[in-house]
């Protein structure tokens, strides 16, 4: 049970045993896993991200009014909804 594990990021620190390591033994000290991976975006990558963010169209854009419910349908829907609420109130104890 006393297997010593050292952080693989190269910091040389020992990973202290925690109960949950029974199920999963981390290779790194918490927060060290990204160290030295050079997790940086290239300039191009960043530009691409910016583009996708700017060009995004909301899913509901232009969709207003596409759902054509007649007044009758609306009434039916609201009837159903109120019926549900009613049932909820009638919960037996």
Site for Zn ion, rule CB under 5 A: 7, 9, 11, 29, 32
Cβ at position 28, least distance to Zn ion in Å: 6
Cβ at position 21, least distance to Zn ion in Å: 16
Q: Which is nearer to Zn ion, 14 or 79 (CB)?
A: 14
Q: Given the structure tokens 């290239």, which residue do they identify?
A: 42
Q: Given the structure tokens 């854009």, which residue do they identify?
A: 61
* Pair of tokens at residue 54: 């700017």
Q: Which is nearer to Zn ion, 16 or 45 (CB)?
A: 16
CA distance linking residue 82 with residue 90, whole number of Å: 12
Cβ at position 55, least distance to Zn ion in Å: 39
Q: Which is nearer to Zn ion, 10 or 83 (CB)?
A: 10
62: left (phi over 0), alpha (psi -120 to 50) or beta: left
């Amino acid at each position: 049970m006393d297997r010593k594990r050292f952080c693989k990021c190269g910091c040389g620190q020992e990973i202290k045993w925690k109960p949950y390591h029974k199920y999963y033994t981390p290779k790194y000290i918490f927060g060290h896993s990204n160290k030295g991976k050079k997790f940086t975006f290239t300039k191009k990558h960043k530009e691409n991200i910016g583009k996708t963010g700017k060009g995004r169209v909301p899913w509901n854009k232009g969709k207003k009014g596409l759902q054509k419910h007649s007044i009758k349908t609306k009434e039916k829907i609201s009837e159903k909804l109120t019926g549900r609420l009613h049932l909820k109130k009638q919960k037996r104890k």
